[in-house]
Structure 1
Amino acid sequence: MHTVDQENVSATLTVAVPAAKVFAVLADPTTHAAIDGTGWVQEAVDRAPLTEVGQIFRMAMYHPNHPDGDYQTANKVQVLDPPHAIGWLTGTEKDDGRLEFGGWLWRYDLAPLGPSETEVTLTYDWSAVPQSIREYLQFPPFGPEHLTNSLHHLAELVSVR
């Protein structure tokens, strides 16, 4: 099931795994390429687990419509509440090392439904994207099925770990 609002899109799926195990997989950047429903995420550049708000982690990406094809994102952890929620802003690192974030947030909310079942909601929120970026990027940049695909990939991954 997925919902689209004016400024965000979300999907929810129940997985037969405890919330702490789901959270551990989400906090591991090396799993993000396997979870991604678009195929844009290629691999983690920074492989350390996500452990604190403000932590930066980079991902190698590919998108055929990106000017370079291959590119890198810099992500900043905004929400870290084990095992209930994790989320990050996505941006870029400039040549001078400055980080710029476009205002879109990826967030997973985990609701335990018992000792071995978790309701996972994935939300892509672009409400903080400034008009200057909205003039050249369409939001969301993918269909809502991307979130559903990501949750199914997550469910497969956590069930075998």
Structure 2
Amino acid sequence: MDQENVSATLTVAVSAARVFAVLADPTAHAAIDGTGWVQEAVDRAPLTEVGQIFRMDMYHANHPNGDYRVANKVSVLDPPRAIGWLTGQEKDDGHLEFGGWFWRYDLAPLGPSETEVTLTYDWSAVPQSIREYIQFPPFGPEHLTNSLHHLAELVSGG
């Protein structure tokens, strides 16, 4: 098991542009999240450029603090085909530190109102020092499938 990423794919009955618009809206991420960890967007502006930082309030029962905040850095922005971000944290001094894992959505239009969406979680760049205390992936693959079903409900207005 040398694979260091996991992905899931789902076809949704809306345009790629509509899917991309929802994914580029940080305020929608809590509704999309299949783990239940994402609570609320701190930075609510739409994602418009590579390098943009957006923070999310999170909760995980096994996290040392329970409630915590992540800082995400947009690493892929190719509307309406792909969007992705690295996840990390902001230190007390304002310095951003990323752990080496990222989320990416790839959108393949199958027609004017149908899109194949692939969600990938990749931890291949996580250093050994982090792997010593976090097991990767930190959730089962069903969470990616759950996220895609939540996204499908959101983009179709259901």
TM-score band w.r.t. shorter chain? over 0.9
Partner residue of 1:96 out of 93, 98, 107? 93
Residue identity opposite 2:147 in structure 1: S
Residue identity opposite 2:74 in structure 1: V
Partner residue of 2:52 out of 55, 58, 64? 55
Give the Cα–Cα distance (whole angstroms) in 2 for the partners of residues 83 and 155 of structure 1: 16
Residue identity opposite 2:35 in structure 1: T
Matched, 1:113 2:106: no
Other-structure match for 1:10: 7
Q: Alpha-carbon deviation of 1:88?
A: 0.1
Unaligned residue ranges in structure 2 (runs of 5+)? none
Q: Alpha-carbon deviation of 1:49?
A: 0.1
Give the Cα–Cα distance (whole angstroms) in 2 for the partners of residues 139 and 38 of structure 1: 14
Residue identity opposite 2:75 in structure 1: Q
TM-score by length of 2: 0.98
The number of aligned residues is 158
Give the Cα–Cα distance (whole angstroms) in 1 for the partners of residues 35 and 133 of structure 2: 20
TM-score by length of 1: 0.96
Q: Which string of whole-angstrom CA distances, capped at 9 and with x for unpartnered residues, describes residues 104-146 of structure 1?
A: 0000000000000000000000000011111110000000000
Structure 1 moving runs of 4+ over 4 Å: none
Name the SS for the 2:84 alignment partner.
strand
Question: % of aligned pairs identical?
Answer: 89
